[in-house]
A = this chain, B = another copy of it.
Amino acid sequence: MGPRRTCAQIGCKIKECIDAGELSPSALGLLQNAQETHTYRRGDTIFVQGEVPTGIYCLRSGNALLTHVDAFKHKTGFRVVSQGEIIGYRSMFGEDTHAATAQALATTDICFYPKEAIVATIDTHSGFARRFLRTLARDRGPPDGLLLRGQHLPVRVRLMHLLSVLKDNFSETADDGMLTFQLPLTRRDIASMLAARPESITRAIAELKRENVVIFSGRQVKVPDPERLYVLSGQSG
């Protein structure tokens, strides 16, 4: 393995904020000194719902799932995070305990930035602050999430919607013209994101295969006609 690259070197969202903030070399140095890097294995928890946030996390590699457990102990996955994305900032800025648990879905390298370093940079660089406002505002507006969970749509359609959201992060190559990618989620994870049961996911997958819209083999996914997937899943763009 070569030398560790910092988060800023892989074009993550923190980097975007740093660029927008036009940080001085000294301010940049302070941020980079405060940063720590950790590696997580599949299933490891990054932070836990209810804990007090101590900073924010930026994924260098791998991916993670954010889940929320309600008062009835129902576990609901609501977001898959992949390379370059930041997590844990909502609760930190909200000055509240973590509203979700983050777990690695695969081996994942993560940069941690302590709260004080981020807050200090925000206070001294308005461009950095404004960029964070933008990031926060773009995260989970009404469109995403609502479609995935509305029971007015059948599970099959919600699954297609999830796939067309995930494909942006995970699509690999189109060897034989098909859109192909590897799902980072178990059937159980998918079920928890769609507010459904694993059995229902299995049945929906079988149905999609029958209709030749999406072909699953294990976690390998093939989409013969991506355009059709968009339309059927209610994506406008």
Contacts and interface: CB of A to CB of B under 8 A. Distances in A.
Contacts of A149: 146, 149-151, 195
Contact of A133 (B76, B124, B132, B138): B132
Contact of A130 (B74, B100, B119, B137): B119
B138 A136 contact: no
A126 B119 CA distance: 10
Contact of A137 (B90, B122, B143): B90
Interface stretch (A26-34, A65-73, A178-186): A65-73
Given A76-B146, A126-B123, A143-B68, A137 B136 contact: yes
Interface in A193-237: 195, 234-236
Nearest to A123: B126
Given A99-B143, A149-B151, 8 more contacts: A71-B147, A76-B146, A78-B142, A94-B134, A99-B142, A122-B133, A124-B126, A150-B195
Interface string A92-105: 11111001100000
A129 interface: yes
Interface string A130-158: 10111011101111011101111100000
A82 interface: no
B142 A133 contact: no
A76 B124 CA distance: 40
A197 to B, nearest CB: 9
Contacts of A152: 72, 74, 195
B91 A141 contact: yes
19 contacts: A68-B143, A70-B143, A71-B234, A72-B152, A89-B137, A93-B133, A94-B134, A94-B141, A95-B134, A95-B137, A96-B141, A99-B141, A100-B142, A119-B130, A122-B133, A124-B126, A129-B129, A146-B149, A149-B150
